[in-house]
Structure 1
Amino acid sequence: MPYAFALTVILALVAALQIALAAGAPWGRLAWGGSHVVLPTRLRIGSLVAVLIYTVIVVIAFTRLGALQVLPQGAAVVAMWIVFGYFALGIVLNAVSRSKPERLVMTPTTVVLTVLSLLIALGAGSLVTAA
């Protein structure tokens, strides 16, 4: 279960960044392509939606590993592979960002999230014996 806890901690930190961005913090160079210092309204809303997505991802991860029973196990396995794909795509999107701060901070963060989600999708540390 350590992978799910690590995923949760990192997503909580990224969620804190997104909440700060939604509140008007001048850290927009770290997200959404980095073209704004302070995010416009539509991207602030996107930041809040991202926080909800991160919450769902944590629930999926713990369900996949058998710590929660929110979804059927088969659905949690499929959902966790989708999460892995989401983060893998995020590596590419962050790596090609025009914003140097986003490339330097968010690309490695997303790499770690991708590796953790892969391990969870594979069932590493699972409490369930069959997926």
Structure 2
Amino acid sequence: MTSAALAVALAVLCALAVLQVLVIFGLPFGAVVWGGQHRVLPGRLRLGSTVAVILYAGFAALLLSRSGVLPGSVNAAVIVLTWVLFAFFAVSVVGNVATRSSAERWTMTPASVVLAVATFVIAVE
């Protein structure tokens, strides 16, 4: 179960990273990120997208560690951070449901739900 949850979480994180890279380079997918206010993101939001890509890589490393693919699966910090990550994804579901952007709501809400569930499965195992 953990390996399936890990695969799903990594696939979603990769897809989100690709989306963020596309908006960093000025492609008009801004309607599905950062509140959906801009088709093409302004500089400050492109910087935010850059930070998001780095965070996604960190999230992936954490999940890989907790799953035993990378070292540290039983490390207390890894266990606690995995639960914190689960809480972050669970809260992001609420934020994505509440967004004014229907494109963001229909794209990011399912991604947040999938990430929350997958992270929960990984955290519990």
What band does the TM-score fall into relative to the shorter chain?
Answer: over 0.9
Q: Unmatched 5+ residue regions in structure 1?
A: 124-131
Aligned CA RMSD, in angstroms, stands at 1.2
Which aligned pairs between 1:1-40 and structure 2 lie closer than 5 A?
1-40=3-42
Runs of 4+ in structure 1 deviating by more than 4 angstroms, as ranges, are none
Bigger share in helix: 2
Which of the residues 45, 49, 52 maps onto 1:50?
A: 52
- The equivalent of 1:96 in structure 2 is 98
* Paired residue secondary structure (1:113): helix
> Structure 1 residue 102: deviation in Å?
0.5
Asked whether the equivalents of residues 18 and 47 of structure 1 are also in contact (C-alpha less than 8 Å), the reply is yes
Instruction: Supply the distance in 2 between the matched residues of 1:91 and 1:45 (Cα, whole angstroms).
Output: 23
**Identical amino acids, percent of aligned pairs:** 38
Instruction: Supply the distance in 2 between the matched residues of 1:70 and 1:24 (Cα, whole angstroms).
Output: 38
Instruction: Supply the distance in 1 between the matched residues of 2:122 and 2:73 (Cα, whole angstroms).
Output: 15
Instruction: Supply the distance in 2 between the matched residues of 1:52 and 1:71 (Cα, whole angstroms).
Output: 21
Count of residue pairs brought into register by the alignment: 123
Letter in 2 for 1:99: S
CA deviations over 1:104-126 (Å, ceiling 9, x no partner): 11111111111001111112xxx
Asked whether the equivalents of residues 59 and 70 of structure 1 are also in contact (C-alpha less than 8 Å), the reply is no
Letter in 2 for 1:100: S
- The equivalent of 1:109 in structure 2 is 111
Letter in 2 for 1:26: P
Q: Unmatched 5+ residue regions in structure 2?
A: none
TM value normalised by structure 2: 0.93
Residues 1:71 and 1:104: Cα distance change in structure 2 (over 3 Å): same
Asked whether the equivalents of residues 73 and 79 of structure 2 are also in contact (C-alpha less than 8 Å), the reply is no
TM value normalised by structure 1: 0.89
> Structure 1 residue 65: deviation in Å?
1.6
Instruction: Supply the distance in 2 between the matched residues of 1:120 and 1:103 (Cα, whole angstroms).
Output: 25
Letter in 2 for 1:17: L
